[in-house]
Amino acid sequence: MPEPGTQADVGELLRRIREIEARLARLEQRFEPAPSASAPRAEPAQIALIESVAAVPILGRAVLAMAGAYVLRAFTEAHMVAPKAGVFAAIGYAVFWLVWAARIPAGRRAETALYSLTSALVLGPLIWEATLRLHAVSTWTSAAVLLAFTSIGLLISWRKNLLIVATISILTAVLTGAALLIGSHDVVPFLLLLVLIAAAVEISACLDHWLSERWLAAAAADLVVLLATYLASDPRGLPESYAPIPYFFVLGAQLALPAIYLSSTVVRTFLRGSTIRMFEVAQLAIVFLLVLGGAPRLGGPSILPAISVFCLGSAAVCYATGAALKGRNFQVYLGFAFLLTLAAVRIALPAGWAAAVTSALALGCMMLPRPAFRWQGAGYLLFALGSSGALAQSTRGLLDGHDPTDSLLPLLGEAAIALACFILAARGPSPSVLRMALAAAAFWPLAALGAAAIAGSYHAIFGSLASHSYCAAGRTAVLAGGAVLLAWIGSRQTAFEITPLVYPLMILGAYRLLLVDLRQDSKAALVISLLVYGSALLLVPRFMRPRQTTSS
């Protein structure tokens, strides 16, 4: 039972607070301007003075609110109320001031901000002290209280769209939750808290509320997931002071963030008709990178199929949504769908199967009429050329000084796919740059096959020990002859847009002639290289001349 002196002191403190409230109310009435239609218009200096003086009672109420919080603390420390009861009474007191801020008329923004800030200053230190010093509540209870405080702040500011109330409630929960995570070394409750706050903010954004403050919750959720991933996957183990962090919980948080932000973006762009924002593009990129980089660290190779399925499902959502949209939204969705598809294929399949799947995707995209899909087809084709090794094998076969020893079957298959993609693009409405890129992608493996055929025929006739100098001359001839062939085709089929490739091929031929052919032992082979390259230099300009047109 508390001492009588303590009760007398508390009673005296309450009496003094009531006196101060009464004096502040009288002061506010004295400076409140009386409404009068005939009253003269006040000067700006007088208006500023009235507003400054009128702000004094508002500040006084905020100070009294803080005093009330300390009264509750005094009751608790004097053991007049149980610690948990005192804590929850103070939480209700903080919520009261947040609700009071939401009831202020919309024009009195300073008053709304001050009362919201008062609520935050009451709740934040209170939760910190009750959790870490008094141990009156657990970390899970603290996280639940902060989540409830944020939810109340979002709900009560909904009708008037009070951004300041929503922002302060979010900021209070985010900063207090982060501080408690660091102070208590208990990651899981506050990881869940920040992910749920991010989801609540995105629900509000889907209804066009508080769009400018989404980055607060997003940044906090990203950082806490990154921290949890680092701690849970550290090879040295979790530090002794930290509470256990289940792998599945961190993995669930990693997967929840892309689901939250992809769903929110789809709702806003597809259902609400909004234009995708730079925040959404950046946040989607970050959360998917967290999954692709963090999930394998947690689950190892066994988790890769699930991650691949998740990325493939997200890519399907992006393709389905983007196909129904136009403009920037269409381009962003297709970009994410393309990258997620490549990530899914690369994670789940070996290189050969990945090349086969992306080759089929390249052909499928080339059959679609929209140029954006054809650009994606070119990207899939390039990935297939790299995954199958055809690009590296072609480069070695054309620019290296030795005969290729790899199997030519993958090279032949990718050359056929590239040629088919080029033909499909040339027949439809495709940009000239795209047709040129596809022509290069088709020419390079075909030229490597031609060089391999020349080398194989030469060794079949003269034996495997015959000089390789003539094979080197054959590669130079393929490059120079290919440049002449492309110049001739381009002069007759202008829709192919392949003439820009002619001079790069001539430069590569000069590279081979100077750095490879001149070092060969056989002078006869060098003479062949010089004759072929010189002839190409004579023929190419003739085909590259613009055709004259006659005017009527």
How large is the average pLDDT for residues 365-394? 91
Q: What is the chain's alpha carbon radius of gyration, rounded to the nearest angstrom?
A: 36
pLDDT of residue 124: 83
pLDDT of residue 329: 92
Q: In the numeric block, which tokens belong to residue 417? A: 């796919």
pLDDT of residue 51: 40
Percent helix / strand / coil, the chain, rounded to 5: 80, 0, 20
Banded model confidence at residue 458, pLDDT cuts 50, 70, 90: confident
Q: In the numeric block, which tokens belong to residue 210? A: 């508080």
Residues in Cβ contact with 292 at an 8 Å cutoff, skipping those fewer than 6 apart: 307, 311, 343, 347
Within 10 A of 432 (CB to CB), how many other CB atoms are there? Answer: 13
Distance CA 96, CA 119 (A): 8
* pLDDT reading at 321 higher than 90: yes
Q: How far is CA 280 from CA 64, 202, 217, 267, 273, in A?
A: 42, 11, 13, 12, 15
Domain boundaries, the chain: 1-29+49-184, 205-347, 349-461, 467-544
Distance CA 437, CA 235 (A): 45
Strands annotated E in 14-77: none
Banded model confidence at residue 140, pLDDT cuts 50, 70, 90: very high
Banded model confidence at residue 523, pLDDT cuts 50, 70, 90: confident
Banded model confidence at residue 408, pLDDT cuts 50, 70, 90: confident
pLDDT of residue 79: 56
CA proximity to 256, closest of 215, 282, 218, 227: 218
Banded model confidence at residue 285, pLDDT cuts 50, 70, 90: very high
Most confident segment among 30-39, 103-112, 232-241:
232-241
Percent of the chain whose pLDDT exceeds 70:
80
pLDDT of residue 494: 64
* pLDDT reading at 469 higher than 70: yes
Distance CA 214, CA 195 (A): 13
Burial state string for 524-550 with b = 16 or more CB within 10 A and e = fewer than 16 = ebbebbeebbeebeebbeebeeeeeee
CB 458 within 8 A of CB 477: no
CB 437 within 8 A of CB 385: no
Q: In the numeric block, which tokens belong to residue 515? A: 């750095």
* pLDDT reading at 166 higher than 70: yes
How large is the average pLDDT for residues 214-241? 90
pLDDT of residue 356: 93
How large is the average pLDDT for residues 445-456? 90
CB 193 within 8 A of CB 173: yes
pLDDT of residue 468: 78
Banded model confidence at residue 500, pLDDT cuts 50, 70, 90: confident
Residues in Cβ contact with 540 at an 8 Å cutoff, skipping those fewer than 6 apart: 483, 484, 487, 502, 503, 506
Dump pLDDT digits (tens) for 167-185: 888 999 999 999 999 999 9
pLDDT of residue 455: 85
Dump pLDDT digits (tens) for 5-28: 545 555 665 666 667 666 656 655
Distance CA 418, CA 380 (A): 11
* pLDDT reading at 448 higher than 50: yes
Banded model confidence at residue 61, pLDDT cuts 50, 70, 90: low
* pLDDT reading at 546 higher than 70: no
CB 13 within 8 A of CB 74: yes
Dump pLDDT digits (tens) for 183-223: 999 999 999 999 999 999 999 888 877 677 789 999 999 99
Average confidence score pLDDT of the chain: 82
* pLDDT reading at 161 higher than 90: no
Q: In the numeric block, which tokens belong to residue 307? A: 């991650």
How large is the average pLDDT for residues 73-89? 63
* pLDDT reading at 549 higher than 70: no
Distance CA 552, CA 241 (A): 90
How large is the average pLDDT for residues 108-136? 79
Distance CA 294, CA 222 (A): 12
**Burial class for 482, CB neighbours closer than 10 Å (0-12, 13-18, 19+):** buried
Residue 406 is given by DSSP the state S
pLDDT of residue 1: 43
Residue 352 is given by DSSP the state H
Q: If you search the block for the tokens 């502040």, which residue do you land on?
A: 24
How large is the average pLDDT for residues 305-334? 92
pLDDT of residue 81: 59
Amino acid letter for position 550: T
| pTM of the predicted protein model | 0.78
pLDDT of residue 496: 63
Q: If you search the block for the tokens 């706050």, which residue do you land on?
A: 197
Most confident segment among 119-123, 164-168, 336-340, 422-426:
336-340
Q: Of 15 and 324, which is predicted with more confidence?
A: 324
